[in-house]
Structures are given as C-alpha cells and as structure tokens.
Amino acid sequence: MKKLIVGQSGGPTSVINGSLAGVYYEAKKRGYDKVYGMVNGIEGLLHDHIVDLDDYFQDKNNLELLKRTPSSFLGTCRFKLGSIEKNEDTYKKVFEILDKHSIDSFIYIGGNDSMDTVESLSDYAKANNKKQNFIGVPKTIDNDLPITDHCPGFGSACKYIATTLKEIILDNSCYGDTKQTVAIVEIMGRHAGWLTAASALAKDDTCEGVDAIYLPEVPFNLDSFIEETSELLKKKSSVVIAVSEGIRNEEGKYLCELIDSNLMVDSFGHKELVGCAEFLSKLLRDRLFIKTRPITLATLQRAAAHLASKTDLEEAYNCGRKGAELAYNGESGKMVYMERVSTNPYKVEYKVFDDMHKIANVEKKVPLDWIDVENNYVKDDLIEYIRPLIQGEVKQIYKDGLPQHIVLKK
C-alpha cells in the first residue's frame, strides 16, 4: 500500500484548507491507498496523533466545505526540530512513527519555519537512507517566502484588508468637518510590509483611500510621524493611517518594545508584536489633542474565509495538488512555487524549487523601489502586483444564515 501524510504548520490562513483539499484530492487520484493527517503538525506527529482523512473526505461535499473552512483543519503548531546533531533523538522518533504506519510521503503546508522542517527531515532521510520523501507547499498571509511570486493566503488577506479599510475610511469620515478624527489601523507584518501595502487598494472611485502607510522596511520616526499627521489634519478632518505591527525605529527596535520591553518569544525566537496602533493613537491624542481610534485587525485578516479571494483559493488548491504530484513521483526536499507569467491578463504556472536551503528561514521583503518613502505610501507597481490576487468571490455554503464549516472530530 502507498501512504501519504500531510500536516499544516504556523499561522493559519483563510485558504490553507484549500491546499489540504488539493493534496487529498490529487493523492487519491494518483493512487495513494491512505492519506493521513498530522494533528497539530510535526508536534502532533511526534505523539503519534494522526487521523485517516478518508473518514472525512470520501464525501465530496465535505471536501467543498473544507475549502471554505478557515483556520487549519488539522490544527497547527510552532515547533522547531532544531539541528540534527543536537536533536537526533527527535528525528529518530519522527521516522519511527512514519515507519510504524508505513508512510511513504510527507507533505507540509506552511511558511518559512515549515520549510525549515521539510528541509531538515529531507536532509536526515538522505543521510540515513530512509525511504520517505518530503515536499513543502507554501502558505503565509505575510507573503514573505522567497522564490514564489506570492504565497497562498496572501491574496485573501489583502482582499479583507482593502475591504475593511474602505469601510473604516467611510466610518471615520462620518463627522464631516465638525470633528478631527484619526484612525490608526495595525496590520500584520513582522519584517515584511506586504499586507499593510494592500491597504492602498482601498482607494477607488468611491473611496479616497488611506492617507499614509508605514512599512517595516522603512525606519519609523515618532517625531516625523506626529508632524506628518499634523500636516494631514491641516488639509482634512478625517485621517486614516495603516501601520505594520513590525515597524521599527532607526535603531531597529520594534515600536511595541517601547511599550513593553519584555515581549513574549516563541520557539523560533519571534517576539510577539502587539500594541502599535494603541501606542500611536495615544501619542497623537496627547500631542495633538484630537480624537483618535486604534484598530487592530489581528486574527481577523487571516480568518475571514467569508471574504476569501477566489483566485487565492484556486491557487492554494492547485499548489496542494502539485505537492501531491511531486510526492507521488518520489521528489524530496522540494517546494511548490508560483511563477507569474503575466499580470494582464493574470496567469501563473506551478513549478518546483529544488534547493530548500535557499528557502528555509529566508524572508522576502517589499522592494524599496516599490515604496514611496517621501509620501509614506506605496507605488503603483506594488498595487498592480497585488490587485490580481484579490479577484473573484468564493460562494459560501450557508445554513440558518451562517456559513458552514467542517471541523476535526474530538
């Protein structure tokens, strides 16, 4: 019997389950007898916590529900395997469990840290003559994976951000000229400002758009921020500003570290970033004596499956299918990626990158020549890059007025 196991890792997206659906569909189509799921990624696998996905998805209707379900159906983790030299017992345990279930192929859906896991397991397998092969399927709303033109999950998050900013801009302007108001919208993005840049898409014939965009690629200066906001308020009464959660000052210190120097750190060494909008909102209120409102999109920007981009969902599904195809063909230590063939008309091709060492733990940032530093905004090239990714709407399946989802049985 030929068997495959698939897992999801890192922060969820609204379409990560689309990739899982693609893996399952293509694996069964190509003849895998069993397709298992890791519950809570590699961390769950180490506890032999796996499920038979046939129990859920032999019914094609459930596979359609899966595509429309936010979060990670299989659960997720942020677990670092560490170096082979210092953690060989952990690696041995992974392969003992894979051998126990006679698993041939391993697919991991995730971002930078997940590709690190694929790379490490593939290296160990090659060095120890193990039969299993390992494939990475990209996922991240942050769009910071190298090689691929963009990542599944990014387009839907952009669609949500641009839509929400349009609504916030209208709401913030409801007082007209009778009251000056500033809304600070905090958007995810630790080192890369791709998501915050998507706020520029809010501008159209019915919306004047955000007034300023601050990305982590450009050093942030508090005094300049106050002065720039003051100048905006001389021209208009309603101001809406988009900021990345990871904006830093000239010394490279996160703005949120000015609020709390003891930020929590995860297993990968990432500091928990929170509080930029609240800090800046209070700063403006105290300095300029105006009404301000902090808005943090937080989990909403990655969980809004009801506003998923059809283009994004289709690409997530296709990446999953490509991953299963590679696994079936015996490829290992490789990642699926998308290459943009054309922007207008928009078209991508699904390809394979065969050197995981150039992907794992490498972050792709917004190019500086796509940022309008002088005007605290982004250039048209960046807007044109993102716009095709938000196109199309996903028809939801409703019951009693609410969208339906599928969840893992407890």
Question: Which residues belong to the active site?
Answer: 142
Taking CA atoms, 370 is separated from 69, 184, 226, 366, 377, in Å, by 34, 22, 24, 7, 9
Give the side-chain half-sphere CA count within 13 A for 410.
0
| Residues 116, 120: Cα–Cα separation, whole Å | 6
The token pair that represents 342 in the structure block: 């054309």
Q: Which 3 state secondary structure label does DSSP give 292?
A: strand
| Residues 398, 235: Cα–Cα separation, whole Å | 45
| Residues 156, 17: Cα–Cα separation, whole Å | 13
| Residues 218, 376: Cα–Cα separation, whole Å | 9
Taking CA atoms, 311 is separated from 72, 124, 315, 334, in Å, by 19, 36, 6, 24
Strand-pair partners of 110:
138
For the chain, the C-alpha Rg in angstroms (whole number) is 22
Helix (H) or strand (E) holding 295: strand 291-296
Distance of CA 95 to the CA centre of its chain: 29
Exposed/middle/buried for residue 269 (C-beta within 10 Å: 0-12, 13-18, 19+): exposed
The answer to whether the beta carbons of residues 41 and 139 sit under 8 Å apart is no
Q: What is the DSSP letter of 321?
A: H
Q: Which 3 state secondary structure label does DSSP give 187?
A: strand
